Structure 1
Amino acid sequence: MTGLNPETEHILQICCYITTADLTLLEPHGFEVIIHQPAHILDSMNDWCIETHGRTGLTAAVRASTTTPETAATQLLDYIQKHIPQPCTALLAGNSVHADKAFLARGPYAKVLEHLHYRILDVSSVKEAVRRWGDEALLRDAPVKKGVHLARDDILESIEEMRFYRDRLFGAGGKGS
């Protein structure tokens, strides 16, 4: 994103992995798209976004992309429906996923949210529960985030983190095993 305000900022990159209930990836590569944004939008990003997205190469990839938000939204929905054709069953999941949901609620992306279940699985909320009610050893042993700030890396790290919490808090594999 060009920032954190869904009312004024824009999506730069979308990545989606679909897992089974036990967090097994359905496909090793998932779905990923870089969305073109005009120069004036990229130039108006805050310093953190300019530095981080510049360092990772995302800003250059966004400038070079020809994918519109409308095309990205359609491709994402097609990808999700290919694996989960039944509406209102797939959960949006990840770290601080409420922010992703706020961005997906706007413009052409709203059709994606309409296909998803209204509930979300927020890894950050599980981490906060552990921080408040668990022990320090559990947090210390949690997978370390690399902080790359690219969608693919962030999502795969979130899945790994959720597997860790699932195994430690709910028993290896949970009820779906």
Structure 2
Amino acid sequence: MWIDCEMTGLDLSKDKLIEIAALVTDSDLNILGEGVDIVIHADDDALANMPAVVTDMHAKSGLTDEVRASTVSLEEAEQRVLAYIKEHVPVAGTVPLAGNSIGTDRGFISRDMTALDTYLHYRMIDVSSIKELSRRWYPRIYYGQPAKGLAHRALADIKESIKELQYYRRTAFVAPPGPSTSDIAAVVAELDTQSGAD
């Protein structure tokens, strides 16, 4: 389950959730369905108090104008996202939430969309964590990653995150079907020996 949000800033104490998108993929990262992308109305005060960098970003993407024109409430957006998710994930808490720096999005979802937050699994797959590990362990993979489009729109950002995880799966992870059982046992034995020596 992939979710991305756009907000008026990153401060949970004052900023507003203004766009949310969701896509579901299977375990091989194939997208299931069209997804959902919803622009949520916010008042002019919320938009006027955005940091300059966020104001510029949302103006360039067209999101600010769409937010002003939207009549969708947080509650309606939550119900539409849940309806899409339930089409593909009928049992709550069975699929981890995925995205880039997804903890930030999860914070706004937890604050503003409690039914959605409750439906999601508590575990999360954060592509940015894999990126940071690649930067440290496999610099060639990190520096060779596909360029990001930097659309700063929720659905486009999800599609980029899926593409990014597909890239890391093919470059940083062991190719399917993975290591043999004996290879796995050898790694476990080596790690157990190392931890026993400490």
Q: TM-score range by the shorter chain?
A: over 0.9
17 and 173 in structure 1: CA distance in 2 versus 1, 3 angstrom threshold: farther
For structure 1, list consecutive stretches of 5 or more residues without a partner in the other structure. none
CA contact (8 A) 1:36 1:67 kept: yes
Report the CA distance between 1:63 and its aligned residue: 0.2
CA contact (8 A) 1:166 1:174 kept: no
Give distance in 2, aligned partners of 1:173 and 1:31. 31
Give distance in 1, aligned partners of 2:36 and 2:122. 21
Give distance in 1, aligned partners of 2:39 and 2:11. 19
CA RMSD of aligned residues (A): 1.3
Report the CA distance between 1:171 and its aligned residue: 3.6
Structure-2 residue corresponding to 1:148: 151
- Of 36, 57, 60, 1:55 maps to 60
Structure-2 residue corresponding to 1:21: 27
State the secondary structure of the residue aligned to 2:38.
strand
Richer in strand (by share) = 2
Identity %: 38
CA contact (8 A) 2:100 2:127 kept: yes
The structure whose Rg is larger is 2
State the secondary structure of the residue aligned to 2:20.
strand
The residue type paired with residue 82 of structure 1 is: E
Structure-2 residue corresponding to 1:105: 110
The residue type paired with residue 24 of structure 2 is: I
Report the CA distance between 1:7 and its aligned residue: 2.2
For structure 2, list consecutive stretches of 5 or more residues without a partner in the other structure. 1-6, 179-198
- Of 30, 38, 47, 2:43 maps to 38
173 and 32 in structure 1: CA distance in 2 versus 1, 3 angstrom threshold: farther
Give distance in 2, aligned partners of 1:173 and 1:76. 32
State the secondary structure of the residue aligned to 1:12.
strand
- Of 164, 169, 173, 1:170 maps to 173
CA contact (8 A) 1:87 1:116 kept: yes
Report the CA distance between 1:55 and its aligned residue: 1.1
- Of 110, 123, 126, 1:122 maps to 126
The residue type paired with residue 163 of structure 1 is: Q
42 and 31 in structure 1: CA distance in 2 versus 1, 3 angstrom threshold: same
Report the CA distance between 1:85 and its aligned residue: 0.8
State the secondary structure of the residue aligned to 1:62.
helix
